[in-house]
Structure 1
Amino acid sequence: MTRRLIDVQVEGYVPHAIHGADRVWTETNCYVDLWVEVLHALGLDPVPAAACAFSARFDGSQWTFLKFKPEDLFALYGIEVAEMNVWRRPVEHLEANAEAGLLSTVEVDAFWLPDTEGTGYRTEHSKTTIVPNLIDGESEVLEYFHNSGYHRLAADDFRGVFGLDDPLPTWPPYIEQVRLGVSVPECDAFDAVVRRHLRNRSTVNPVRALAERVLEDVDQLSTGGMELFHRWTFGVLRQCGASAELAADVCDYMENHGYPGTAKAAPGFRSVSEAAKSVQFRMARAARGRTVDPGEQLDRMADAWDESITAAARAAGSR
Structure 2
Amino acid sequence: MTEALRLLPIDASSYVCHPLHAPERDWPETNCYVDLWIEVLHALGHDPVAGLAFTLGVGFDGDQWEFFKYPAEDLLALYGIQVREINVWRSLEDHIATHLALGHLLTVEADSWYLPDTAGVAYRLTHQKTTIVPQHLDPANRRIGYFHNAGYFELEGEDYDGVLRLGDPDGLVPYVELVAMERQVHRETDALRAQVDGLVRAYVARRPTENPVAQLAARITADLPWLREHPDLFHAYAFGSLRQCGAWASVAATFVRWLGNPATDAAAEHLDGISGLAKTAQFKLARVLAGRTVDLDEQLSTMASHWQHAMATIAAAYGG
Length-normalised TM-score, structure 1: 0.95
Residue 237 (structure 2) pairs with residue 232 (structure 1)? yes
Aligned residues: 313
Q: Is the 8 A contact 2:5 2:97 kept in 1?
A: no
* Aligned-partner Cα distance in 2 for 1:308–1:201: 12
* 1:174 matched to 2:180: no
- C-alpha spacing 1:313/1:181, structure 2 compared with 1 (3 Å): farther
Q: Once structures 1 and 2 are overlaid, which stretch shifts more, 159-168 or 273-282?
A: 159-168
Contiguous gaps of at least 5 residues in structure 1 = none
Q: CA deviation at 1:263?
A: 2.0
AA partner of residue 41 (structure 1):
A
Q: Which residue of 2 aligns with 1:195?
A: 201
1:40-119 matches, cutoff 5 A = 40-119=42-121
Partner of 2:5: helix, strand, or coil?
coil
User: Is the CA contact 1:140–1:158 (under 8 Å) kept in the aligned structure 2?
Assistant: yes
Displacement of 1:168 after TM fit? 2.5
For residues 224-260 of structure 1, give each alpha carbon's deviation from its aligned partner in whole angstroms, at most 9, with x where no partner exists: 11x21111111111111111011101110112xxx33
SS of 1:49's partner is helix
Is the Cα–Cα contact under 8 Å of residues 223 and 287 in structure 1 kept in the other structure?
Answer: no
Q: Give distance in 2, aligned partners of 1:146 and 1:175.
A: 14
Q: Who is 2:223 aligned against?
A: 217
Q: How much does 1:51 deviate?
A: 1.6
Q: Does 1:253 align with 2:261?
A: no
Deviation of residue 97 (structure 1)?
1.2
Could you tell me which residue of structure 2 aligns to residue 244 of structure 1?
Answer: 249
Q: CA deviation at 1:261?
A: 1.9
Query: Are the equivalent residues in 1 in contact too, given 2:114–2:163 (CA < 8 A)?
Result: yes
Q: Which amino acid aligns with 2:307?
A: W
One-letter code aligned to 1:245: S
The equivalent residue for 2:14 is 12
CA contact (8 A) 1:77 1:184 kept: yes
Determine helix, strand or coil for the equivalent of 1:144. Answer: strand
Alpha-carbon separation, structure 1, partners of 2:238 and 2:180: 34
Identity %: 45
The answer to whether residue 38 in structure 2 is matched with residue 36 in structure 1 is yes
Please give the alpha-carbon distance, in whole angstroms, between the structure 2 residues aligned to 1:222 and 1:163. Answer: 38
Following the alignment from structure 2 to structure 1, what is the Cα–Cα distance between the partners of residues 228 and 291?
5
**Quick one: which amino acid aligns to residue 180 of structure 2?**
R
Report the Cα offset of residue 3 of structure 1. 3.3
TM-score (structure 2 length as normaliser): 0.95
Report the Cα offset of residue 222 of structure 1: 1.1
Alignment RMSD (CA, Å): 1.3
1:120 and 2:126 correspond? no
The amino acid across from 1:173 in the alignment is P
Contact 1:260–1:315 (8 Å) recurs in 2: no
Residue identity matched to 1:178: V
**Structure 1 runs of 4+ with >3 Å offset:** 183-188
Distance 2:278 2:105 in 1: 34
Check the 8 A contact 1:195/1:316 in 2, yes or no: yes
